[in-house]
Structure 1
Amino acid sequence: MTPFLVRSALTGFALWVVTLVVSGISFVGGENTLQRVGIILVVAVIFGLVNAIIKPIVQLIAIPLYILTLGLIHVVINALMLWITSWITRNTTHWGLDVDHFWWTAIWGAIVLSIVSWTLSLVIRDSTRS
């Protein structure tokens, strides 16, 4: 359970950084800081579930596109996962992640999210080795 909570917290932090860097992606809801942190953590869990359930299916279907684009379709698939997370939270609650447009907003969000998540995984991996 602890690794899941740590991964969710890191994903939430990465999503928060994305909202600071990419205009057009934001968190909606939360009147105070504690509520905002809770919303970020819930969105991170939903994003993790979307990545665990939907992403493998999409990747399997997109195998020819991976070959054709030499793997660049992976950025679009990550953007699609952000978009789906935004759609789920926007249509089921009055709070969550809001992505304005798919094409450039979600694409840049996916790129920044990948870079921040990769950097955090390096930092966490190095700190656990010490």
Structure 2
Amino acid sequence: MGQRVLLIEDEPNIIEAIRFILSRDGWTVETHADGATAVAAVERKRPDVIILDVMLPNKSGFEILRELRDMADHATRPVLMLTARGQKKDRDMAEAAGVSHFMTKPFSNTEMLEVVRRLAAEAPENPMDTSHG
């Protein structure tokens, strides 16, 4: 598959779980844990899919998502937002900021894998996707 995910998350257990789930499926999973430098990490790594935690040190996932959506290179990049707080207002804020998909923790391995695969397949500028289905 050769696709890359950038996981922006500061919780070691979540990082290891997601890395395990996705790398078993052939994904390259890179991680970043600091909200303040997350946008710069996306710029450097240019992943196919971003998994973004809401609560990060130094800057929230909502702020990071808004910054990414304001940049031409990342306006349509798939972003899966993760949160331990699944209240409606969090989901509404994520949608207002332009999230591709919103998922609460804890999540199932199957759900994580299916959503990441779907986001990658639906990505508008995805040159790897030559199949239809």
Check whether TM > 0.5: no
- TM-score normalised per structure 2: 0.28
- TM-score normalised per structure 1: 0.29
Larger radius of gyration: 1
Larger proportion of strand: 2
Larger proportion of helix: 1
